[in-house]
Amino acid sequence: MEDGGSLLQPPPPVKRLSEMLRAHAAFATNQPGGIRASLKFVDLSGIKLPGRMLAGADLTGASLRNADLAGADLSGAILFAADLRDAMLDGARLVGADLRGARLCGAKIRRADLSGVDLREGALMASRGGDLVAPRAGSQTEAVAAVLNGSRLNGARGGRANLNRADLRDADLSGSNFARADLTRSDLTGCNLEGASLIAANLEGAVLEGAILCRANLSDSNLTDASLLGALLDDARTERTNFSNATRTRSIDELGKDIATIFAHHRAWIDSDGRRGTRADLTGTDLRGADLRGINLSAAVLSLADLREADLSGAMLIMSDLGGADARSAVFIEADMRGCGLERTSLNGADLSGANLGPMLIRGAIAWPANLARARLVGACLARAVLGNAKMTGADLTGCDVTGAMLEGADLSGTVLDLAMAISVGEVAEAAPEPVA
């Protein structure tokens, strides 16, 4: 009863199923002889259909538990109340698919395209003794502990969906609607929730570090014990939002020492190779507009800090950790940032002209590259910057000025590139042999 097993039918013979899938592929691509596949209430548990064309297929109530659908095209497919628990859907295309009432608990859906997907409530009804009954309790779409990191869910409709403990790191949920959804203890690190509706959503204990929540609606939502370090909340609506015990940017006063003392101890730590002093740990600290010109913060921890409009011109940030920091409109002119960690750092509008983001030689042999993976550099200036061998996978360089920048050996795979201001398109193309926008 609970699993809806009484409604399931055995799968068709292998030959018949192959014929159905071939005919459906023809249907989906407007070829002669095409027939839409109808596999409603069919038990396809454990089936292996990686890369198959299933766009528009009717899989209402079907069991695809533990199925391998990696890279499959399920755009517009009807998966209403389907069982996809523990299924493999990495790289799959589910644009506009109907997943109302589906079960996706434990499913692997990494780097998939679920744009416009429907994850709202939905329940099947069966007739028993003249009465309509639900084959299983509840009508929520369940994606408990589902792995969706790096996937696109922009425009998705997920009101009341259960995404408890889901992995949504670096996912794109911009413009989506997850009002009243359960996102308890979910990991939304680096997630793009710009313009999303999270009205009355439960985000208790969720990790939203470095997430984009600009213009999101968080009214009446529960963010108790959530971590919002490095999150961008510009113009977000937070009426009646519960921020109890939420971790947010800390002020300098909360560090226990004045900032000058922290810098002095850090300098002593550097000069003595760690024998004296203390390494500066400014994780999640509010340093907005700070004048840090020429300072030596090499190997310091500035992850998830608020560095908006801070001036670090000529600063030494060798091997420093700025991962997830909000450094929009910050100034890093001529800064030494060799081997610097800038993963998921927001650098929109920042000035890094002439900065050295090349590799740092460790013990004279190991070249440690600067890490700008998934960094946001929209409208930033990288003119004359050194980016040799830098890791820039998945970075957003829209409108970025890379005039005269040295990009030899940089990994630009998966970046969003706007080359209008690049002095040498060929140089960038050579650095990124297989860009994926």
* Secondary structure class of 27 (helix, strand, coil): helix
Q: How far apart are CA 95 and CA 54, in angstroms?
A: 12
Contact 322, 340 (CB under 8 A): yes
Torsion, CA 250, CA 252, CA 256, CA 260, rounded to 10: 150
Q: Which is nearest to 236 in space by CA: 257, 259, 208, 261? A: 208
Handedness of CA 363, 365, 366, 370 (dihedral sign): positive
The predicted-structure confidence for 54-105, as pLDDT tens digits, reads as follows 999 999 999 999 999 999 999 999 999 999 999 999 999 999 999 999 999 9
Q: Which is nearest to 112 in space by CA: 82, 156, 145, 80? A: 156
Q: How far apart are CA 279 and CA 296, in angstroms?
A: 12
Q: Which domains occur in the chain, in start order?
A: 255-437 (2.160.20)
What percent of the chain has pLDDT above 70? Answer: 91
- Identity of the amino acid at 178: F
User: What's the pLDDT at 132?
Assistant: 45
User: What's the pLDDT at 434?
Assistant: 45
**Mean pLDDT, rounded, of the chain:** 92
User: What's the pLDDT at 185?
Assistant: 98
DSSP state of 411: B
| Residue 346 backbone class (left: φ over 0; alpha: ψ -120 to 50; beta: rest) | beta
The answer, yes or no, to whether residue 130 has pLDDT greater than 60, is: no
User: What's the pLDDT at 365?
Assistant: 79
**296-301: which pairs have CB atoms within 8 A and are 24 or more residues apart?**
296/266, 296/267, 296/270, 297/263, 297/266, 298/270, 298/336, 299/270, 300/266
Residue 232 CB neighbour total at 10 angstroms = 23
The predicted-structure confidence for 374-420, as pLDDT tens digits, reads as follows 999 999 999 999 999 999 999 999 999 999 999 999 999 999 886 53
User: What's the pLDDT at 433?
Assistant: 43
Q: What one-character-per-residue DSSP string does 320-335 give?
A: -B-TT-B-TT-B-TT-
**303-306: which pairs have CB atoms within 8 A and are 24 or more residues apart?**
303/230, 303/341, 304/209, 304/210, 304/229, 304/230, 304/249, 305/230, 305/249, 306/230, 306/249
Contact 250, 231 (CB under 8 A): no
The residue whose two tokens read 């409109």 is 329
